[in-house]
Amino acid sequence: MKITVVGTGYVGLVSGTCFAEFGVNVVCVDKDREKIKKLKKGIIPIFEPGLEELVKKNIKEKRLFFQTNLSESLNGSEAVFIAVGTPSRRGDGHADLSYVYAAAKEIAKNLKNYAVIVNKSTVPIGTGKEVHKIIEEINPQLEFDVASNPEFLREGSAINDFMRPDRVVIGSENQRAQNILKELYRPLYLLETPILFTKRETAELIKYAANSFLATKIAFINEISDLCEKVGANVSDVSIGIGLDGRIGKKFLHPGPGYGGSCFPKDTLALVKTAQDYKSPLKLIEQVVDSNKKRKRSMYRRILKAIPKDNSNKIISILGLTFKPNTDDMRDSPSLDIIPSLVKSNCKLRVFDPEGMLEAKKNFLKYDSKITWCKNAYEASENSDALVILTEWNQFRALDLNKLKKLMKRQIIIDLRNIYNPREIKENGFEYHSIGRSI
Ligand code: UDX
C-alpha cells in the first residue's frame, strides 16, 4: 500500500513514520525545502523521544520518503493525509484552515487516480465537507472521497500513542473509503484496537470533545486543589480517591500551573467558537478556558507571595520551561505567563530546561537582560531566593537537597507540580510550598 502525507509537523511526521513502520510505503511532503533536506538525512526538527531512530530505520528500509513535490508524491497513493497546521486564528480563536484548504486545492489539481483524502489535522466540524466541495469544484472529473481520521497523539509519547492507541476513529461517507482506511490500520488488529467507523462530522467532533473533556478534568482538579488548601485537604489523595471510580479514571487529575501545549488551549477555544456559531454554546468549556487562563496568572502571585518582602531584587530559579516534560515545545506553556510577570516585579531569573532552552530563548528575547540561561538545575539555583519547579521533568524529581541548600541564598522551594514529598523537603530544612497539600 502507498500513501502520501502532506505536512511534516508533529502529526504528519509521526503519522507518516509510524505508517511506514506498519509496512506502508509513505511519501511525506512539505513546502519547506530546508526541512525536507534535513528529514531525508534523518535529521528531525522536533524533540520527540524515539522518532529519530524510527525515521532513520524506515528511510533505510525504503518505506519512508520525503519530498517537496506534491504532484509526484501522489502517484499511486490510495490515501492522501492532510496533516498541516491548524493554529488558532488571530483575534477570534477559530481554527485557521488556510493551510488545510491550500493543501486540498493542490491535491485537487494534481491527483490522477482515485484516493481517499484524509483530514488528520484537528479541523472544525464540517471541514471534511468543505474540503470535498473545494476538490470537486477544482476537479469535477476526479474520483475521490474525503474522510476524517483525527489523531490522539500526546507530545513526548506520540509514537507509543500511534502504535498502541486506545482507539482509531474514522469518519467516512462510503464503504470504498472505509475499506482503504481499514486496510491501512490492519496491523492494529493484532492488538485488537477498537476502530470506530462513523460519519465525518462525528469523527471531527470526537477529537474536540476528547480534548475539551481532558482539559476540563485538569481545570477541575486545579480548582479542587485551591479548595484543598482552604479546607486543609490533600489534593493528591482526592485525585486517588475519585480516580479509583472507573467512571472517572485516575489519569489527567494531577494539579499544576495550568494546561498548555499546541492542542488543549487551541482546541477548547475552537470548539467554544464553533458551538457559539451554531447557537449551542458550551458554557462549561467556556469556563474551563477562563479558569485555565486565571490559573497561570494566579501561579505568578503564589510565587511572589512565598518570597520574603524586602526591597532587594529577588533571584528566582525556574526549573522547567516547556509546557510538559519530554518535549521542547513551548506553545502556551505556563512559563510564558509566569516569567514575564516575575521580570516585571523586578525579579532576576536563573532558568534551566533539559530540552526547551533553544525554543524558550526565542520567546523571552525582550527579557534577556533579566534571565540567566543555566546548564543544569544546580547552576540555576545558585544564590537564589526561591526555586520554582514549573515542569515535572524526571531529572528534577531527585535533586541533591543538601547541594541545593548550600547553593541557594534562601531555602525556599515552590513546587507547582507536587513532585516532592512535603515532609521529606521540610526535614531537609527547606520552606516548601506545593499545591493543594497543606501539611
Ligand atoms: C493532548 C492530548 O492528550 C492528546 O490526546 C491530543 O492529541 C493532543 O493534545 P498534549 O497537548 O501533547 O496532548 O499533552 P498532554 O499530555 O495532554 O498535556 C497537556 C497539558 O495538560 C500539559 O500542559 C500538561 O502539563 C497538562 N496536564 C496534563 C496537567 O496539568 N495535569 C494532568 O494531569 C495532565
Has residue 38 got a pLDDT over 80?
yes
- At residue 88, the pLDDT reads 82
Give the end of a domain, one of 146, 179, 198: 198
* Domain residue limits at 334: 298-433
Across the range 215-221, mean pLDDT stands at 98
- Residue of the CA atom closest to atom 9 of ligand 1: 263
Q: Do both 322 and 416 map to the same domain? A: yes
Tens-digit pLDDT profile for residues 371-426:
999 999 999 999 999 999 999 999 999 999 999 999 999 999 999 999 999 999 99
* Residue 438 forms part of a structural domain: no
Across the range 353-369, mean pLDDT stands at 95
Beta bridge partners of 88: 95
Q: Do both 86 and 8 map to the same domain? A: yes
Confidence of residue 308 (pLDDT cuts 50, 70, 90): confident
Confidence of residue 311 (pLDDT cuts 50, 70, 90): low
Q: Do both 378 and 319 map to the same domain? A: yes
Q: How many domains does the chain have?
A: 3
Q: Is the dihedral of CA 19, 25, 30, 32 positive or negative?
A: positive
d(CA 370, CA 340): 10
- Residue of the CA atom closest to atom 6 of ligand 1: 152
Q: Do both 33 and 173 map to the same domain? A: yes
Across the range 48-66, mean pLDDT stands at 97
The answer to whether residues 388 and 316 touch, using CB atoms and an 8 Å cutoff, is yes
Tens-digit pLDDT profile for residues 134-155:
999 999 999 999 999 999 999 9
Per-chain mean pLDDT for the chain: 95
Mutate-to-test residue for ligand 1 from 208, 212, 213, 214, highest number of ligand atoms within 8 A of CB: 214
CA 141 – ligand 1 centroid, Å:
43
Q: What are phi and psi of 6, to 5 degrees?
A: -95, 115
Of 313, 323, 318, 380, nearest to 347 by C-alpha is 313
Which H or E run contains 414?
strand 412-415
Q: Do both 189 and 214 map to the same domain? A: no
Q: Which residue has the higher pLDDT, 92 or 351?
A: 351
CATH number at residue 281: 1.10.1040.10
- At residue 296, the pLDDT reads 92
CATH number at residue 42: 3.40.50.720
* Residue 439 forms part of a structural domain: no
Beta bridge partners of 16: none
Across the range 237-257, mean pLDDT stands at 97
The answer to whether residues 86 and 11 touch, using CB atoms and an 8 Å cutoff, is no
Tens-digit pLDDT profile for residues 150-178:
999 999 999 999 999 999 999 999 999 99
Atom of ligand 1 nearest to the CA of 256: 30
- Residue of the CA atom closest to atom 7 of ligand 1: 152
Q: Do both 99 and 177 map to the same domain? A: yes
Q: Do both 265 and 395 map to the same domain? A: no
Helix/strand/coil (H/E/C) assignment for every residue in 229-296: HHHCCEHHHHHHHHHCCCCCCCCCCCCCCCCCCCCHHHHHHHHHHHHHHCCCCCHHHHHHHHHHHHHH
Q: Alpha carbon of 159 to those of 105, 156, 214, 405: distances in Å?
A: 30, 8, 20, 39
CA 342 – ligand 1 centroid, Å:
25
39: left (phi over 0), alpha (psi -120 to 50) or beta: alpha
Type of residue found at 26:
V
Q: Do both 183 and 76 map to the same domain? A: yes
CA 259 – ligand 1 centroid, Å:
7
Query: Where in the sequence numbering do the catalytic residues fall?
Result: 263
- At residue 189, the pLDDT reads 85
Q: What is the dihedral angle through the alpha carbons of 92, 81, 30, 62, rounded to the nearest 10 degrees?
A: 160
How many percent of the chain have pLDDT more than 90?
93
d(CA 18, CA 391): 28
CA 239 – ligand 1 centroid, Å:
17
CA 75 – ligand 1 centroid, Å:
37
- Residue of the CA atom closest to atom 31 of ligand 1: 254
- At residue 439, the pLDDT reads 64
Q: Do both 76 and 182 map to the same domain? A: yes
Give the end of a domain, one of 290, 319, 349: 290
Q: Do both 424 and 371 map to the same domain? A: yes
Q: Do both 92 and 218 map to the same domain? A: no
The answer to whether residues 14 and 83 touch, using CB atoms and an 8 Å cutoff, is no
Has residue 118 got a pLDDT over 80?
yes
Of 25, 33, 119, nearest to 74 by C-alpha is 25
* Residue 158 forms part of a structural domain: yes
Of 55, 72, 73, nearest to 64 by C-alpha is 55
Across the range 73-99, mean pLDDT stands at 91
Strand pairing category for 315-319 and 386-389: parallel
Confidence of residue 312 (pLDDT cuts 50, 70, 90): confident
Q: Do both 95 and 188 map to the same domain? A: yes
Give the end of a domain, one of 180, 198, 216: 198
- Residue of the CA atom closest to atom 15 of ligand 1: 154
How many percent of the chain have pLDDT more than 70?
100
Atom of ligand 1 nearest to the CA of 260: 23
* Residue 203 forms part of a structural domain: no
Mutate-to-test residue for ligand 1 from 86, 152, 154, highest number of ligand atoms within 8 A of CB: 154
Has residue 217 got a pLDDT over 70?
yes
The answer to whether residues 411 and 429 touch, using CB atoms and an 8 Å cutoff, is yes
With a Cβ cut-off of 6 Å, ligand 1 is lined by 151-155, 211, 214, 218, 252-254, 256, 259-261, 263-264, 323-324
